[in-house]
Structure 1
Amino acid sequence: MFTSGFAQLSPEAKQAKKEAILAAIQLPEIPVYEVSVINFGAKGDGKKDCKKAFDKAIQHLKKKGGGTLHVPKGTYLINGPIHFISHFNLHLEEGAVLQFGSNPEDYPTVFTSWEGTFVYNHSPLIYGKYLTDISITGTGIIDGEASETWLQWKPKETADKLLSRKMNHEGTPIKDRVFGNGHYLRPQLIQFVNSKNILLEGVQIEDAPFWCVHLLQCESVTLRKLTYDAHNKNNDGIDLEYTRNVLIEDIKFNNGDDNIAIKAGRDHEGRANAATPSENILIRNCSFKGLHSLVIGSEMSAGVQDVFVENCTAHGYLKRGIYFKTNADRGGFIKDIYIDNVSFKDTEDCFYITANYHGEGSGFNSKIKDVFISNIQCTSASGTAIVIQGYPESKVENVQFKNIHIQKATNGISITNTQHIDFKDVIIGEAATVPTAVK
């Protein structure tokens, strides 16, 4: 059914909502005290293991109540994770490279989440939990060094992935979901858990074992001016999970999977955490390059709402530009999504909104509604320009496409099990002019 006139925020209300998101975000307050990791025994020669030097420096700062740890120019081998403290800034000066070792035994098990299920697994390479006022700044590089090491676990992970999902569905106590040594779930590069007032700015992220930046149960987050060169399997750029009040801006993505993926837990466990959806997220002025630009799901069982995307540009081929993916295992909702002024080049599918991801599941249909997409340019869609797939008993509803131009598409539109879909000034292919006359 095609209709118009359903409710959405007015321009004034939308601006007020964005301003409210920004007002809820606080930059970290870091004490003025500063030290250099060199003074604690680190050597930037790419050979000496600097793990103990970083640990000593961070413990010193903890005793001082926090501060900034400077990493001067050089390559610092770190055989094990860096665990953050509150009121702490890790500052990578120009030419500084953190190069992490990849012996799994150097990475102890910590509380984490793996594809939407809480588990204990190898520590992410940079990690912190229950922290306030933390940041990573500068112009250096964080290198996971994973392409020849952790990446080899990808073909071996299936049994552990299925076990984690079984534990989720059966309600296994989290303390008993222990992976780590002897298992093959790759750790994230950077992960903060249940933390607030977070800033990541300026650094380059490379060669992650798994997801690049994963924020789990966090709030008041600013991610800006990051650059990516991360092309391993599952190298999502930014994953937000049960996270709220987030600004993502001026980021240059170039990574091997989703540029931004907004998530909120998987299946039974996610639905049990419905009080903490991912929400209040503003994404602006970003440069997309990778597999997909913006993804919501597939792990989104606690819900995703109030997401604003504006003034972004894609470079190079994307499999999908905008991709919402859920299935009947998930439940939850995706709603109140506003996407405006985004340009894509070549894609397989420009827009793909599906409640039947991988054709999996039963009994827990997700609700997708109130999605507003405007002022979009796309060079081509080798698959389908616009796909929307709901369920007969749980239709995708209240979706508006306004001022959309997809210059070329193999297939135009494929819409099933929907209601209240509104097209205004949508052109797929060349714009038609006046009708030709009979000769």
Structure 2
Amino acid sequence: MEKVYNQISPPTFPDKTYVITDYYNGKDSLYTDAINRAIEACSSQGGGTVLVPDGEFLTAPIRLKSNVNLHLSNSTILKFTTDYNLFETVLTRIEGIDCHNISPLIYAYGENNIAITGKGKLDGQASTDNWFAEQRIRGIKSENGETVNEKTLLYQMKEDSIPVKERIFEKANGIRPQFINLYKCKNILLEGFTINRSPFWLIHPLLSENVTIKGVKMQSHGPNNDGCDPESCENVLIEDCDFDTGDDCIAIKSGRDEDGRYWNIPCKNIIVRECRMKDGHAGVAIGSEITGGCHNVWVENCQMDSPELDRIIRIKSNPMRGGNVENVFVRNITVGECKQSILGIEQKYWHVDEGPYLPLFENIHLENITSKKSQYVLHLDGFDDKSQIRNIYLKDCSFEGVEKPEINKVTGAENIRFENVTVNGEPFHEM
């Protein structure tokens, strides 16, 4: 891990500052043009800091450029409009599927040396009384005249191998976008700010390298509100962050089905350390869109505690998505309570139990994990006649308050080893 940790270094920026209010014309109701003009000026003149001063500023989606640090002052609230008519259409991915969709609230494509820093707040304004929530039932007309949900239509386009250039979702027919989406970028720093009321995933680095996410508070409980989703990324550090989310706190991904196999780029060298997780489907998840695979994940020195936190570590896929996940190292984790299991593995996610691409999960190490309450220690749901879950090793762990008499619920796994593990105060040596 130390070798990977030393390879990750945050970008630095010239000592020049561009204040967004200097670019505001005094007439616009939104600060979108002022912010984007300041970013463009900063980038074109060699880089520096674009300062959002104290106060509340309403904006449509904004686009980051190379060598720009977007800095939020301590009392800044950067608030994003929910008027979909003000969202341009950009290339992105939604749940592992490539498409053109309405812009994430903060977006960058192919940029180098970019940052969002400062103690201010990013507010996406997504709520149950605006279109970000209504879209789940609104739907649009498909070619055969049926009314379908936008994401359902995207899934069908993927199944029908519709070219990406024709998968277009814009304005009123847009799919709920990510809050921050950094696509094919290098040298990224996200530090210090609070993010809430996101329409979809909060932070989504995609096909990006050298990513540092540090001291960010992710507090958002809307639908699909994953906290941080590095997808097909390399060398990512998530450190000293707080998660209180409506879905997985962290979800590591690498594309879905044929789109994932087209790129075939794994997520690798991911470090999660000194974070705090509250509500969420999992503290750290790998999948379910993990077709490109995942290699080398370290999770250490974290605290996870909530009756609404389903699992501590979760790995998930199915035989249509596939994906090889290997070398996952989890150590020094303090768990107050979780709803289901310390380690949950699902190889038939969404009840898909047949297909040509069996996922393989192997070499998963848990060390020095303490927990006060859970249903299970292990909940491993693999294939009855195949061992596609291999080499699980637990060492120096203490699990209290395990509710189920069968402390492990295991199907389709082999070579599970225990060393110095206690369950409800009793030594546990074998399955």
Q: TM-score, normalised by structure 1?
A: 0.90
Pick from 142, 145, 149 the counterpart of residue 122 of structure 2.
142
Question: SS in structure 2 opposite 1:279?
Answer: strand
Q: Which residue pairs with 2:143 in the alignment?
A: none
Q: Which residue pairs with 1:7 in the alignment?
A: none
Pick from 347, 350, 359 the counterpart of residue 366 of structure 1.
359
Identity %: 33
Question: SS in structure 2 opposite 1:49?
Answer: coil
Query: Do the aligned partners of 2:421 and 2:427 also contact (CA within 8 Å) in 1?
Result: no
* In 1: Cα distance, 2:159 partner to 2:12 partner: 40
* Cα deviation digits, residues 96-140 of structure 1 (max 9, x gap): 010000011111110000000000001000000000000001100
Pick from 388, 393, 397 the counterpart of residue 395 of structure 1.
388
| Counterpart amino acid of residue 154 in structure 1 | R
Residue 414 (str. 1) matches residue 414 (str. 2): no
* Superposition map of 1:127-138 within 5 A: 127-138=107-118
| Counterpart amino acid of residue 143 in structure 1 | D
Question: SS in structure 2 opposite 1:187?
Answer: coil
* In 1: Cα distance, 2:138 partner to 2:269 partner: 37
* Cα deviation digits, residues 321-341 of structure 1 (max 9, x gap): 111111111111111110001
* Superposition map of 1:379-390 within 5 A: 379-381=372-374, 383-390=375-382
Q: Which residue pairs with 2:31 in the alignment?
A: 50
Query: Do the aligned partners of 2:95 and 2:289 also contact (CA within 8 Å) in 1?
Result: yes
* In 1: Cα distance, 2:268 partner to 2:44 partner: 35
Residue 218 (str. 1) matches residue 208 (str. 2): yes
The alpha carbon displacement at 1:76 in A equals: 0.3
Residue 302 (str. 1) matches residue 292 (str. 2): yes
Question: SS in structure 2 opposite 1:23?
Answer: helix
Pick from 12, 18, 30 the counterpart of residue 29 of structure 1.
12
Query: Do the aligned partners of 1:216 and 1:243 also contact (CA within 8 Å) in 2?
Result: yes
* In 2: Cα distance, 1:63 partner to 1:331 partner: 43
* Superposition map of 1:112-123 within 5 A: 112-123=92-103
Pick from 244, 260, 265 the counterpart of residue 254 of structure 1.
244
Pick from 49, 61, 76 the counterpart of residue 57 of structure 2.
76
The alpha carbon displacement at 1:151 in A equals: 2.1
Q: Which residue pairs with 1:377 in the alignment?
A: 370
* Superposition map of 1:262-301 within 5 A: 262-274=252-264, 276-291=265-280, 292-301=282-291
Question: SS in structure 1 opposite 2:212?
Answer: strand
Residue 170 (str. 1) matches residue 170 (str. 2): no
* Superposition map of 1:322-337 within 5 A: 322-337=313-328
Unpaired runs of 5+ residues, structure 2, are 140-147
* Number of equivalent positions: 410
Which portions of structure 1, spanning 4 or more consecutive aligned residues, are displaced by more than 6 angstroms? Answer: none
The alpha carbon displacement at 1:227 in A equals: 0.9
The alpha carbon displacement at 1:261 in A equals: 0.4
Q: TM-score, normalised by structure 2?
A: 0.91
Residue 423 (str. 1) matches residue 418 (str. 2): yes
| Counterpart amino acid of residue 73 in structure 1 | D
Query: Do the aligned partners of 2:312 and 2:343 also contact (CA within 8 Å) in 1?
Result: yes
Q: Which residue pairs with 2:194 in the alignment?
A: 204
* In 2: Cα distance, 1:135 partner to 1:97 partner: 17
| Counterpart amino acid of residue 86 in structure 1 | S
The alpha carbon displacement at 1:61 in A equals: 1.6
* Cα deviation digits, residues 238-290 of structure 1 (max 9, x gap): 0010111011100111222111100000011112222x200001111001112
* Superposition map of 1:158-197 within 5 A: 159-197=149-187
Question: SS in structure 1 opposite 2:245?
Answer: coil
Question: SS in structure 1 opposite 2:244?
Answer: coil
* In 1: Cα distance, 2:189 partner to 2:69 partner: 9
Q: CA RMSD in A?
A: 1.7
* In 1: Cα distance, 2:382 partner to 2:191 partner: 38
Residue 155 (str. 1) matches residue 137 (str. 2): yes
Q: Structure 1 residues 387 and 65, CA, compared in 2 at 3 Å: closer, same or farther? A: same
* In 2: Cα distance, 1:62 partner to 1:24 partner: 25
Unpaired runs of 5+ residues, structure 1, are 1-17, 434-439
Query: Do the aligned partners of 1:48 and 1:76 also contact (CA within 8 Å) in 2?
Result: no
Q: Which residue pairs with 1:61 in the alignment?
A: 42
* Cα deviation digits, residues 192-248 of structure 1 (max 9, x gap): 000000000000111101000001100000000111221111111100101110111
Query: Do the aligned partners of 1:348 and 1:384 also contact (CA within 8 Å) in 2?
Result: no
* In 2: Cα distance, 1:61 partner to 1:184 partner: 31
Q: Structure 1 residues 100 and 301, CA, compared in 2 at 3 Å: closer, same or farther? A: same
Flag the structure with more relative contact order, 1 or 2, with Cα contacts below 8 A and sequence separation at least 6.
1
Pick from 308, 320, 326 the counterpart of residue 311 of structure 2.
320
The alpha carbon displacement at 1:38 in A equals: 1.4
Deviates more, 1:155-164 or 1:262-271: 155-164
